[in-house]
Structures are given as structure tokens and as C-alpha cells.
Amino acid sequence: MEIKFIKRENIDKLKWDSCVHYAGNGNVYGYTWFLDNACEQWDGLVEGDYESVFPLVWNTKLLGNKQLYQPILCQQLGIYSVHMRSPARLRNFINAIPSDIKFINIDLNEENNVKLDDSFQLTPRSNFLLNLNRPFEEIQKGYSKSLNKSLKKASKFDFISSGNYKPETIVDLFVQTQKEIGNEVDNHTRHALHRIMYNAMHRGRGSILANTDMDGNILAATFLIYSHKRIIYFLAASTKEGKRRCAMHYLLDNFFYANAGRPLTFDFEGSSLPGIATFFKAFGAAESKYYNLYKNNLPFWVKWVKKDKKNLFVF
């Protein structure tokens, strides 16, 4: 197995994207256009003639030491391959990471078969997936009692559904609602969201859904990305009034009704926050595990506190 390290500027975009597209474990985060807009610097490991690829997102923010990190807008990366994602293939790719990278803290995708030596720390993370390829009545049977109560409450209000908004409007709403709960969204993330959303829409992969009140004020909104038979709950925001009216519950329920029976999976993108995970599970979403890969070979005088990514959604 020949694995080459290739700088971003030398990567064959067509071949790389073809690998991600046809890989049995492909997802939208692995495309060059997504990586280019989600992070500042990345290179890649490539097997053969782009039969398998592994993005390496890096910076030198640890006192000049090079690190691999997980971009906040990419839930899962790791190996994408048209071959079997075996433990041996994963080990070979991990061993091919350049030796000048002293710190690794990345999330592998769900189908990266993980069996590594003790020098790596593996931590399971939770994603939540809802199968839409069944009658809506069957989907609805999976709803929790609390969700049905919220939907009953929402039915007492009048909503207007619309998708006719620019990405800036949804990002501004997201930034505002995050600030209200004490989370600051930095300018890099804000602009990256703009770029990703516009690129997804340009490629026919993204759409905006929103519920407003009768005066046109947005109560809840989400940006969805479509890729590899999945619909990704990429960004979402609810105002205080939207939460009071359970507007996001109502929006998703209507979306599932409209898309029931289609060969699609709704990908909630997971969360480490119990309250948000409970919201996802209320719709009957099944838990799916993927792994965080961590290794610290930094000099002893460099101190580092591992931090989880922020969760870019509220309900």
C-alpha cells in the first residue's frame, strides 16, 4: 500500500473529490470545496491513484508546534476509501502522518474501523441519525411523549414557512442566539459559515428552512446540507419566542412528514451536550458512534488543555 503526503496546492481536486464521492463512507466534510472553506490550512494523505484519501487539517498555534485538529464545522473526517476501511488501512494511514506533527486531536468518521496501539487515546462520540425511508406514521411512533407535548403546544400558534433567506440572515440569527446563551462566534467561523452555505447552495446541496410568526419575524431556522443520501442538520437557531412556541420542533416534524418514504437519513450531527442530545433522541433518532483520535508528543514544557468543539445548533 503506497501512501503519499501531498500539499494542498498539489492535490488533484477532481480525483480527491471523486474518491470522497464514490467512497462507501463518503460525506460532505471531505470534499475539497468544503475543507477549503471550513479551515485555513490542510494537506492530505493519498493512497495509490486517489483510491483512499485522508485530510490533514493543521495549524501551528501550540507555541509554533504543528498540530492536527478538528475544524469546528467538520463533524467527522478521517479516511475516505473505495476499498475496505480495515483496521490495517487505518493504522497505515495514521503511521503515514508526517513526524513533524506533534499533537493530534481529530474525529474519524463512523466507518473508520478503529484498532490502534496504546500510544493513541480513543474517545467515542455520539451522532444521531433518523431513517426517513419509511412511512411518516412509523417515524411518528418513535417520537417521545415530551416531543408530542411540544408539537401539541406548537399547533396552537400560527407559523409561516419560508426558505427565501440569504445565508447571512441565518448566520446573523445564529450568532445572536449563541450570544444570548454566552457563546461567542468568532469572525473566522462566521465567514466560514457564509462560504460553506453559499457553496452548498451553488452546488444544489444546501437549503434554508425557517418558520416565522404572522409578522414575518423568524422564530426558528435551519440550514440543511444534502450529501451521500444524508440530510445534515448543519446549522440551526431559535429565538426565545421561537423556543416558547416550539417552532423548531414544528419545523422538523413538517420536514419529516414531507420527506418520509425517501431513501434518506437525517443526520442531526450529534452533540456532547445532554440537553441537545435529548432533543435529537426525542424524534426517535438512533445513536451512532464515531471516535476522537488523540495523541500528544509535544515537549513537556508545552501545556495543553483538550477542549471539545462547540455545538453549532440550538432548539
The model's pLDDT over 51-82, given as tens digits with 9 standing for 90+, comes to 999 999 999 887 788 999 999 999 999 999 99
The model's pLDDT over 206-256, given as tens digits with 9 standing for 90+, comes to 999 999 999 999 999 999 999 999 999 999 999 999 999 999 999 999 999
Higher pLDDT, 43 or 113: 43
The model's pLDDT over 77-99, given as tens digits with 9 standing for 90+, comes to 999 999 988 888 988 999 999 99
Beta bridge partners of 6: 44
**Could you give the C-alpha distances from 93 to 12, 98, 119, 285, in angstroms and in order?**
19, 10, 15, 32
| pLDDT of 118 over the 80 cut | no
Where residue 32 falls among pLDDT bands split at 50, 70, 90?
very high
pLDDT at residue 117, rounded to an integer: 67
Q: Does domain 3-116 have CATH number 3.40.630?
A: yes
pLDDT at residue 301, rounded to an integer: 64
Question: What is the CA 253 to chain-centroid distance, rounded?
Answer: 21
Domain(s) of CATH 3.40.630.30: residues in the chain: 128-288
| pLDDT of 157 over the 50 cut | yes
Query: What is the C-alpha to C-alpha distance for residues 253 and 235, in angstroms, rounded to an integer?
Result: 17
pLDDT at residue 314, rounded to an integer: 41
| pLDDT of 310 over the 90 cut | no
Query: What is the C-alpha to C-alpha distance for residues 138 and 131, in angstroms, rounded to an integer?
Result: 10
Mean pLDDT, the chain, as a whole number?
91
| pLDDT of 313 over the 80 cut | no
For the domain spanning 128-288, the CATH number is: 3.40.630.30
Q: Which residue is listed with cell 478521517?
A: 78
Query: What is the C-alpha to C-alpha distance for residues 38 and 199, in angstroms, rounded to an integer?
Result: 11
